[in-house]
Amino acid sequence: MSSLNSIWENVLENISENIPTVSFQTWFKDTKLIDLNSSSAVVKADNEFQKGWLSEKYLTLIETSIYSAIGENVSVKIVFEGEQLDETHAAEEKSAEKSDNVQMNIPVKHALNEQHTFDTFVIGNGNRFSHAASLAVAEAPAKAYNPLFIYGGVGLGKTHLMHAIGNYVLEHRPNAKVVYLSSEKFTNEFINSIRDNKTEQFRNKYRNVDVLLIDDIQFLAGKESTQEEFFHTFNSLHENGKQIVISSDRTPKEIPTLEDRLRSRFEWGLMTDVTPPDLETRIAILRKKCEEENVEIPNEAMIYIANHIHTNIRELEGALTRVAAYAKISNQPMTPEVVSEALKDLVVATKSKRMTIQDIQEAVSEYYGIHIDELASKKRTKSIAFPRHVAMYLSRELTDNSLPKIGEVFGGRDHTTVIHAHEKISKLVSEDELFRDELKEIEKKLN
């Protein structure tokens, strides 16, 4: 039994993973699930405009996310504060408020976002290889790369590719058992199965699928029992010729406290990364989004957005949504000035987050009293090597640059050197309180 609030929290978590942060904050803040039964759900918005936008743009995503949370297909109705529900819904709402409980029945479901396909994915220099690998896996599950491990920063398209794989497989093999979930959901379900004495049911659920798509695997770090369970799930699927696709915000070697046997299995197949889109790709993404949403935005406005939002695709698309909404609400044409006004808070926040490796090198060299050029030199003395490792660690943590790019800036070093530096400093961070204070001082300089 789960409360409406609890279910809606799970639904919102799923939604937040599939749309830009700014869109989520703009359109889903203060929404509530006020009624739910086996065939329908009622979601309350703050006002009529928000209701209209949610109904027009996000209804399918809401229904898919509810499906993911409770394993039931329901039709969703959006209402707004003050709007009168019909007598049936009003009675059900009253009943729901009284008991606030809904029976949960969660069979194996794929929980895929049907809008995330290969056709809607915009290919650029930063994701070309990952796209090709994902398509190869979708066309021949367990024959091409198994597992496929996709890594990169938040909002760069990893989840889109995973959904695209699942959707492609189901389109060409409708009877295939395809399951998409986050590692956090895997962990929670595993814990619940132990509590309810249903571990065998849990194992049957995830070891009898054709394609397992598991997102954000880095959250298994430190969860020994869940790692043990996933290890056996992985082995069972792999031995039976089933496809496994994994995503993470970092490489397996960079995930702390990940068991070596899991790490090695993640590296069995193909590892491929996604990096932030360049200007041309950002413009192409915006054009694609305008086509999908049937929104007309002048070219100069689109270029302004692409030039000022660099961090990731979610924020880029969120900026587009904000501009469209701002122009509609204020009844103004989308001139560069209006776009600038609509994005003023977002652009400031993005600029503040856009840390560079050069910034980090300057702060680290100043803190340790060495010349900045020495960080990229061939010198291996401890007084140079240690600050270099710290700078590499911070570059990996605070920027969106790929491992090869970081290695290149630090004197053309191999990406494995960056991984080694990150592992070494991560260990020090977890063990040495004095060093943690050092790191805080350097980060203060950066901020």
**Would 384 be classed as within a structural domain?**
yes
Q: Is 29 exposed, middle or buried (0-12, 13-18, 19+ CB in 10 A)?
A: exposed
pLDDT recorded at residue 46: 84
Q: Is 30 exposed, middle or buried (0-12, 13-18, 19+ CB in 10 A)?
A: exposed
pLDDT tier, 353 (very low <50, low <70, confident <90, very high otherwise):
low
**Would 12 be classed as within a structural domain?**
yes
pLDDT at 418 exceeding the cut of 50: yes
- Domain at 147, CATH number: 3.40.50.300
Residues 6+ apart with CB under 8 A from 27: 50, 53, 54, 57, 58, 321
- Determine the Cα–Cα distance for residues 388 and 385; give it in Å rounded to an integer: 5
Domain count, the chain: 4
- Three-state DSSP class for 248? strand
Q: What is the pLDDT of residues 289-328, one digit of tens each?
A: 888 878 788 888 888 888 877 777 888 888 888 888 888 8
From 57-66, 98-107, 203-212, the region with the lowest mean pLDDT: 98-107
What is the percent of the chain with per-residue pLDDT over 70, rounded to a whole number?
Answer: 90
Q: What is the DSSP letter of 256?
A: T
Q: What is the pLDDT of residues 240-263, one digit of tens each?
A: 999 999 999 888 888 878 888 999
**Would 123 be classed as within a structural domain?**
no
C-alpha to C-alpha distances, 308 to 25, 121, 316, 345, 414, nearest whole angstrom: 20, 22, 9, 12, 31
Question: Rounded mean pLDDT of 388-392?
Answer: 95
For residue 154 the two structure tokens come to 């938040």
**Quick one: 363 and 318 in the same domain?**
no
**C-beta neighbour count of 397 within 10 angstroms:** 17
pLDDT at 95 exceeding the cut of 60: no
- Is 158 marked within a binding site? yes
Instruction: Provide the residue range defining the domain that includes 348.
Output: 285-353
pLDDT tier, 447 (very low <50, low <70, confident <90, very high otherwise):
low
DSSP structure string for 269-282: SEEEEE----HHHH
- Determine the Cα–Cα distance for residues 92 and 81; give it in Å rounded to an integer: 17
Residue 40's closest CA among 1, 22, 67, 58?
A: 67
User: What does the mean pLDDT of the chain come to?
Assistant: 83
Residue 108's closest CA among 66, 71, 140?
A: 71
pLDDT recorded at residue 331: 83
**Quick one: 234 and 149 in the same domain?**
yes
- Domain at 405, CATH number: 1.10.1750.10
What is the percent of the chain with per-residue pLDDT over 90, rounded to a whole number?
Answer: 31
Q: How many residues does the chain have?
A: 447
pLDDT tier, 125 (very low <50, low <70, confident <90, very high otherwise):
confident
**Quick one: 145 and 191 in the same domain?**
yes
**Quick one: 135 and 265 in the same domain?**
yes
Q: What is the pLDDT of residues 16-54, one digit of tens each?
A: 877 877 778 888 988 999 888 877 889 998 888 888 888
Q: What is the pLDDT of residues 162-202, one digit of tens each?
A: 999 999 999 999 889 999 988 888 998 899 889 889 999 99
- Domain at 88, CATH number: 3.30.300.180
The dihedral sign for the CA sequence 208, 209, 215, 217: positive
Domain boundary among 224, 245, 274: 274
pLDDT recorded at residue 434: 86
C-alpha to C-alpha distances, 13 to 151, 185, 400, nearest whole angstrom: 21, 11, 24
pLDDT recorded at residue 230: 94
Domain boundary among 231, 254, 274: 274
For residue 44 the two structure tokens come to 């309350």
pLDDT recorded at residue 342: 81
**Quick one: 396 and 297 in the same domain?**
no
- Is 269 marked within a binding site? no
- Is 157 marked within a binding site? yes
